[in-house]
Amino acid sequence: MKRTIAATLTVILAGGSLALLAQSSGQKSLAATLNVAAFPQAGQKPEQQSQDEAACYKWAVDNTGVDPFEAQKKAAQQQQQTAQATEQAKSAGQGSTARTAARGAAAGALIGAAAGDAGTGAAVGAATGAVAGRRQKKKAEAQATQQAQAQGQQVQQATAQQIEGFKKAFCACLEGKKYIAKY
């Protein structure tokens, strides 16, 4: 679908007559693809509207620095990266349970040796350390997951704001060419 739109846009920008064929074959106009409603106010023909939409698209990209199709691709990539970061966050606390159990066993053995039973002290220390290790692991996983999701949301919000700015510019251009444009 995106390739079809890109090909149609290329043809429109080149001024070819294939834009008429694409529009008459039931494909969406450029404005409709961008979820912008554009209605001619001065009796513009469909071929003129296609040319005006293409010119406004180019103008909006040049003036905002945002190509909404590229921004959507980047947003999809960011969602994948967020999902990967969330998966990695689940392993953020790996090994902390064993390390904490070992530390607990060592501390328990020292305390147990002072009390006269190093073996029991080590066992109690290891159990206490394992519980503490699980808590640390869960806490580390939760923090890493929350951070990954927050970063992903920030990028998504920034992308949405960029696309909204593009649509404002696109609509302003169309309105200057005597269209009613709403998104």
Residue range 69-109, pLDDT digits in tens: 999 998 888 888 888 887 877 665 555 556 665 666 556 55
Q: What pLDDT, on a 0 to 100 scale, did the predictor assign at position 122?
A: 64
Q: CA 60 to CA 47: how far, in whole Å? A: 20
Q: What pLDDT, on a 0 to 100 scale, did the predictor assign at position 135?
A: 79
CA distances from 11 to 66, 79, 116, 166 (A): 21, 32, 88, 21
Q: What pLDDT, on a 0 to 100 scale, did the predictor assign at position 176?
A: 97
Burial zone of 87 (CB within 10 Å; 0-12 exposed, 13-18 middle, 19+ buried): exposed
Q: CA 96 to CA 154: how far, in whole Å? A: 30
Average pLDDT over residues 112-132: 66
Reduced to 3 states (helix: H, G, I; strand: E, B; else coil), residue 16 is: coil
Q: What residue segments make up the domains of the chain, in order of their start?
A: 2-69+164-182, 80-163
Least confident of 80-84, 124-128, 167-171: 124-128
Q: Which distant-in-sequence residues (6+ apart) come within 8 Å of 127 by Cβ?
A: 101, 104
Tens-digit pLDDT profile for residues 17-53: 333 334 445 678 999 999 999 999 999 999 999 999 9
Global pTM value: 0.60
% of the chain beyond a pLDDT of 90: 39
Residue 14 has pLDDT above 60, yes or no: no
